[in-house]
Structure 1
């Protein structure tokens, strides 16, 4: 009961902070906060993949990600990606000074490069959505929140009174087909009131099936993070958010959904 109350209180605070951040922040302020969040998630990612990590490697990962925010004025994302990969590669080449360190070189490089391709690039599209307009982010957050909530509710209800069908038992034993269907349906239904409150230049029918796609992707992105947590023997990526775990636990839904919504908005809705 205490954990449930803490979870709801944390969720309420996060919702209020997210609204203020999205609605009233400048692009620069939005970028700074976004990359602090990505930096925090990156720290959790590295510790999750390799619990015993030299503190300089962890700090360096976060510092490179935050510093990379200054490259976001470049017109091409490819410039940012190339710069980050170069910096990561240079860091590891400088770090290898003894023959015995070669055994961990490939593993460490893969872990840190994973930060770029698993966290940095997908979450970069939150900034791109902000540049399109704050209502795109409100649409994203709202339909995912509704889909996730009903997936949890329906999945729990079905587990109690019926037979739950797991969709990915290796990663997330509690993720069920019933919850997945609920997430898709209720995310689609949520598109109607969300679009009325936060208008976007898109037909209602298009917004509905787009929200259904986001609901599906949000349910698929969670098991991906869960694979790493289970491999590390961890329930949560961190403990900074009472009742919710770590920052990575909160942003995992947007890793697949942010690029998807940006692609839809730019190439389908337009």
Structure 2
């Protein structure tokens, strides 16, 4: 992954993001709409293709793409009616999938297209992974107060705070290794922003899985679950990283 990010062009990187969007959306619809696998697969392909809309220099194309997806799949729900009581929840879940996976994930392509895009991508990974690792070890060792037991019984307040500390340390290390353009203020601000949102993204995916009655989003990564299980934190952190870099950096 490190070599690919370093060597790949923006277009090649977008192909990877599109593939991840396809796999992630398929997992989402498999969990949320198991009775509508045909529409779920079609929606996953359409959502993955929509990632390419961010290449447009005009803001109209991404808006057009999202509008087309909404209109197309609401019409599918209208004319492929099965159970009218399930029609509204089903179409709401289809549209939520577009907003949750490709819309958020496409920000990775926007990040890559920034002047320091490669460094920002690595910074996202460092902040999220350092936070995850620190949260696990601090929570396992010192965790006593449950953070949100209804959604994730094993997570603790101590682990969450340890995770934020790990994110800050990771960002500072990034500054002194591969991203010298960061100021110390940027390290703390970006680490806390992305660290908090990364943890919330993890909790949100746990909420979806519990609501759907599944342990993992998929089984594509042995021992780790599905693509969404690996991307849950990055889905929430990527947009924050892009807008921080675009407006504040």
Q: Normalising by structure 1, what TM-score? A: 0.85
Relative to 1, partners in 2 of residues 1:98 and 1:194: Cα closer, same or farther, differing over 3 Å?
Answer: closer
Give me the whole-angstrom Cα distance separating, in 1, the residues matched to 2:41 and 2:82. Answer: 23
> Which residue is 2:155 aligned to?
175
**1:135 partnered with 2:115:** no
Question: After the TM superposition, which residues 1-270 of structure 1 pair with which residues of structure 2 at under 5 Å, given as runs?
Answer: 18-53=1-36, 55-77=37-59, 79-94=61-76, 96-97=78-79, 100-132=82-114, 133-159=117-143, 164-269=144-249
How far is the alpha carbon of 1:192 from its aligned partner?
1.6
Gaps of 5+ in 2: none
Tell me, yes or no, if the aligned pair for 1:37 and 1:247 is still in contact at 8 Å. Answer: yes
SS in 1 for 2:147: strand
Question: Per-residue displacement from partner, 1:45-88 (whole Å, max 9, x unpaired)?
Answer: 111112222x3212201210232234222124553244233234
2:230 and 2:2 map into 1 onto residues whose CA distance is 16
Residue 198 of structure 1 deviates from its aligned partner by: 1.6
Indicate the SS of the match to 1:175.
Answer: strand
Contact 2:219 2:226 in 1 (8 A): yes
The CA deviation at 1:186 is 1.5
What is the CA–CA distance in structure 2 between the aligned matches of 1:264 and 1:244, rounded to whole Å?
30
Larger relative CO (CA 8 A, sep 6+): 1 or 2? 1
Instruction: Please report how far the alpha carbon of residue 255 of structure 1 lies from its aligned counterpart in structure 2 after TM superposition.
Output: 1.6
> Equivalents in 2 of 1:243, 1:99: separation in Å?
38
Structure 2 SS opposite 1:173? strand
Conservation of the 8 A alpha-carbon contact between 2:77 and 2:91:
no
- Quick one: distance in 2 between partners of 1:157 and 1:94? 50
Preserved CA contact (<8 Å) 2:54 2:110: no
- Structure 1: distance between partners of 2:64 and 2:84: 24
**What are structure 1's unaligned runs of at least 5 residues?**
1-17
- Per the alignment, do residues 255 and 94 of structure 1 end up closer, same or farther by CA in structure 2, a change over 3 Å counting? closer
* Structure 1 residues 78 and 158: CA distance shift in structure 2, 3 A: farther
Q: Which residue of 2 aligns with 1:13?
A: none
User: Could you tell me the TM-score, scaled by structure 2's length?
Assistant: 0.92
Q: Hey, what's the Cα distance between the residues in 2 that align with 1:109 and 1:32?
A: 27
The 8 Å contact of residues 172 and 223 in structure 1, kept in 2 or not, is answered as yes
SS of residue in 2 equivalent to 1:206: helix
In structure 2, relative to structure 1, the CA distance for the partners of 1:173 and 1:76 (3 Å cut) is farther
